[in-house]
């Protein structure tokens, strides 16, 4: 007999439909799976045989041929086990119910239990868009799949359950659709803990409002890491579309928490400086997302920036410009989104005290130059705000004055982001930092005084075209925080101040 069952495959973030075709006929007993399966898919033969035995079903003494169509697309992982099992039962006549509008995803264990798999969310989304009305997934994945509207989700614990469901026995209940709760306060340290550093706090407020990249540079103990680690507490709320995009990436990486299937808080990733290029950008035989993509719609924090391998850092250049990472392998090319806010922190020299007002730097000029040269000009040019974090004065540390809280700062940031959401509605632009060059002058109008000032700055500072664009975008954010539709001279002036540190540290003369 012949049967066809719907399943889903996954290559990177791209889910695709798979038809599991089963043909059972008389002949020399055999069980073959074709259609470009990898080793894990081929091993499903043994898992299915054992599971059928555990369920009291005798494996047919016949020739079993299975084809995973389309045959020219590689199938990987254990996600097809449940569909292969259903194909067997349907072809054997154990199940005769209508399954054309159903899709089956899950790994089957030797004792017949259905196990959790990664990537259920993107596969469920693709199934829904393909016209599938019902999807059967492992019980542990049902909460995650229920995020998708427009498709019935059934959580399956074992093959016994699914056999009963399709043979008139006990029905599996449809999972309730998951509705994410409103995000309240985020459990991170508060900005009110930091004494002084008003300039650096202001810079991070601007960065969070417009999604801009930031470089924090200063001596050890000045508070660079403290500032960065409090950033998640002031980031604007995620839209539902952003949550889905980010959850897709975390789903295929197996990072979804069982009780919170939808990522509703912007990611904050902080990899160690020993990370490899593949760990940062993604990689592997079947490329998995790296830290750049796992931070999508959130923050990637690189502490001790100059300690990272220079070749690893250079990988950031293209993702920061294009908001995506493309990885090519023999098996195909995968593109992962990487719309991130990069926050980097570093010392100005190996000893950390170059430029310190009171402590003497013990590094030679060559040592300072070599240390700073680890950050290339093109990468530095992609960092919108360059912030010098000065040592905290005793008067600030000993002050009993209460500093502004993260909640208070976040209100201003959320208001500025809502202005941007309204401005960019229907354009595909998410924030000021993502304004395309073609839309720059439409969304960043300057008054005459601001235009003249920027013209003078451009000539005096010798800015690159990229630096000009980024100054305009930062000015747009400062104007939004100021409640001004038109960019004025004071907004340009403040944005330019955050582009001057490269001249202090990187353009030194020996």
Domain-ending residue, one of 410, 428, 446: 428
Phi, psi dihedrals of residue 5, rounded to the nearest 5°: -125, 140
Q: Which residues contact 259 (CB under 8 A, 6 or more apart)?
A: 143
CA–CA gap between residue 5 and residue 93 (Å, rounded): 14
Q: How far apart are CA 375 and CA 462, in angstroms?
A: 20
Instruction: Examine the domain organization and report whether 226 and 326 are in the same domain.
Output: yes
Contacts of 310 (CB under 8 A, 6+ apart): 374, 376
CATH number, domain of 45, equals 3.30.230.10
Is there a single domain that holds both residue 272 and residue 368? yes
237 lies in the same domain as 102: no
Cβ(455)–Cβ(463) under 8 Å?
no
Classify residue 364: in a domain, yes or no.
yes
**Which of residues 408, 428, 448 is at a domain's end?**
428
What 3-state DSSP class applies to 9?
Answer: strand
In this structure, what CATH number is given to the domain that contains residue 355? 3.40.50.300
0.85 surpassed by pTM: yes
- In a domain, residue 181? The reply is no
Low-confidence ranges of the chain (pLDDT < 70): 183-185, 331, 394-398, 501-510
Instruction: Tell me the two tokens of residue 58.
Output: 């005798």
* pLDDT for position 510: 41
Residue-averaged pLDDT of the chain: 90
Domain limits at 120?
2-166
| Within a domain: 398 | yes
pLDDT reported for residue 414 = 94
Percent of the chain predicted with pLDDT > 70: 96
- pLDDT (0 to 100) of residue 467: 84
Q: Is residue 27 part of a domain?
A: yes
**So what's the pLDDT on residue 342?**
96
Q: Is 363 in contact with 351 (CB distance < 8 Å)? A: yes
Burial (0-12, 13-18, 19+ Cβ within 10 Å), 372:
buried
For residues 14 and 65, membership in a common domain is answered with yes
What is the three-state SS of 185-201?
Answer: CCCCCCHHHCCCCHHHH
**Would residue 443 count as lying in a domain?**
no
Please state, in angstroms and as integers, the Cα–Cα distance from residue 415 to each residue in 92, 466, 492, following that order.
61, 27, 21
- Note whether 230 and 265 are same-domain residues: yes
Q: Examine the domain organization and report whether 349 and 410 are in the same domain.
A: yes
- State how far the Cα of 117 lies from the Cα of 503, in Å rounded to an integer: 51
Taking every pair of Cα atoms in the chain, the longest distance, rounded to a whole number of angstroms, is 89
pLDDT of residue 492: 92
Quick check: 153 and 135 in contact, CB under 8 A?
Answer: yes
User: Are 358 and 214 part of one and the same domain?
Assistant: yes
CA distance linking residue 489 with residue 35, whole number of Å = 64
**Alpha-carbon distances, residue 457 vs 335, 460, 499 (angstroms):** 38, 5, 11
With beta carbons less than 8 A apart as the criterion, state whether 394 and 484 touch: no
Report if residue 505 sits inside a domain: no
Whole-number Å distance between alpha carbons of 203 and 330: 44
Residues 35 and 108 in one domain: yes
Q: Which residues pair with 64 in a beta bridge?
A: 24, 31
So what's the pLDDT on residue 408? 92
Q: Is residue 351 assigned to a domain?
A: yes
d(CA 16, CA 122): 9
pLDDT in tens, 221-270: 888 999 999 999 999 999 888 999 999 999 999 898 877 888 989 999 99
- The token pair at 288 is 């998995």
Adjacent-strand bridge partners of 337: 324
DSSP 481-495: HTT-SSB-HHHHHHH
Tokens 């939004």 locate to 480
Q: Rg of the chain's alpha carbons, rounded to an integer?
A: 28
Does 285 share its domain with 357? Answer: yes
Asked if residue 348 and residue 237 are part of one domain, the reply reads yes
- What per-residue confidence (pLDDT) applies to 468? 86
Vertex 109 angle, CA 104 and 111, to 5°: 120
Mark whether 156 and 201 lie in a shared domain: no
Looking at 130, 150, 166, the residue that finishes a domain is 166
Q: Are residues 148 and 200 in the same domain?
A: no
User: How far is the C-alpha of 87 from the C-alpha of 52, rounded, in Å?
Assistant: 12
* pLDDT value for 420: 94
Q: How many domains does one find in the chain?
A: 2
Cis omega (within 30 of 0) on the bond before 239? Answer: no
The position carrying tokens 């000539």 is 459
Taking a C-beta distance cutoff of 8 angstroms, is the pair 303, 225 a contact? yes
Read out DSSP for 195-248? -S-HHHHHHHHHHHHHT--EEEE--TTSSHHHHHHTGGGTSPPPPHHHHHHHHH
Residue 280 lies in a domain: yes
């Amino acid at each position: 007999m012949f049967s066809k069952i719907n399943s889903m495959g996954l290559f990177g973030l791209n889910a695709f439909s798979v038809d599991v075709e089963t043909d059972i006929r008389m002949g020399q007993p055999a069980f073959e799976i074709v259609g470009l399966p990898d080793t894990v898919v081929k091993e499903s033969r043994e898992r299915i045989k054992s599971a059928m035995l555990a369920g009291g079903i005798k494996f047919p003494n016949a020739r079993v041929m299975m084809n995973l169509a389309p045959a020219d697309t590689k199938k990987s992982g254990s996600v097809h086990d449940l569909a292969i099992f259903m194909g067997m039962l349907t072809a054997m006549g154990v199940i005769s119910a209508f399954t054309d509008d159903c899709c089956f995803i899950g790994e089957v264990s030797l004792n017949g239990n259905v196990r959790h798999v990664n990537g259920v969310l993107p596969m469920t989304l693709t199934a829904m868009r393909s016209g599938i009305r019902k999807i059967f997934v492992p019980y542990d994945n049902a909460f995650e799949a229920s995020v998708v509207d427009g498709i019935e989700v059934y959580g399956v614990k074992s093959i016994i359950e699914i056999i009963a469901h399709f043979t008139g026995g006990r029905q599996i209940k449809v999972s309730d659709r998951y509705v994410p709760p409103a995000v309240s306060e985020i459990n991170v340290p508060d900005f009110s803990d930091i004494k002084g550093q008003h300039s650096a706090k202001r810079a991070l407020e601007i960065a969070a409002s417009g999604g801009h990249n930031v470089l924090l540079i200063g001596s050890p103990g000045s508070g660079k890491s403290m500032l960065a680690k409090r950033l998640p507490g002031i980031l604007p709320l995620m839209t539902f579309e952003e949550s889905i995009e980010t959850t897709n990436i975390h789903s295929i990486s197996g990072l979804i928490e069982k009780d919170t299937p939808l990522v509703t808080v912007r990611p904050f990733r902080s990899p160690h400086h020993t990370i490899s290029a593949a760990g940062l950008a993604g990689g592997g035989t079947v490329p998995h997302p790296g830290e750049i993509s796992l931070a999508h719609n959130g923050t990637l924090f690189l502490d001790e920036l100059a300690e990272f391998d220079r070749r690893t850092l250079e990988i950031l250049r293209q993702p920061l410009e294009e908001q995506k990472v493309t990885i090519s392998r023999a098996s195909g090319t995968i593109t992962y989104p990487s719309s991130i806010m990069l926050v980097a922190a570093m010392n100005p020299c190996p000893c950390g005290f170059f430029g310190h007002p009171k402590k003497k730097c013990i590094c030679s000029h060559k040592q300072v130059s070599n240390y700073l040269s680890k950050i290339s000009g093109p990468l530095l040019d992609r960092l919108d705000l360059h912030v010098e974090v000065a040592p905290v004065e005793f008067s600030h540390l000993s002050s009993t004055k209460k500093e502004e809280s993260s909640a208070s700062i976040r209100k201003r940031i959320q208001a500025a982001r809502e202005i941007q959401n309204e401005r960019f509605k229907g354009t595909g632009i998410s924030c000021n930092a993502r304004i395309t060059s073609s839309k720059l002058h439409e969304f960043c109008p300057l008054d005459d005084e601001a235009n003249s000032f920027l013209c003078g700055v451009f000539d005096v500072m010798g800015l690159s075209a990229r630096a000009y664009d980024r100054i305009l975008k930062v000015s747009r954010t400062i104007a939004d925080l100021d409640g001004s539709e038109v960019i004025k001279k004071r907004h340009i002036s403040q944005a330019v101040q955050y582009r001057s540190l490269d001249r202090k540290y990187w353009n030194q003369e020996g």
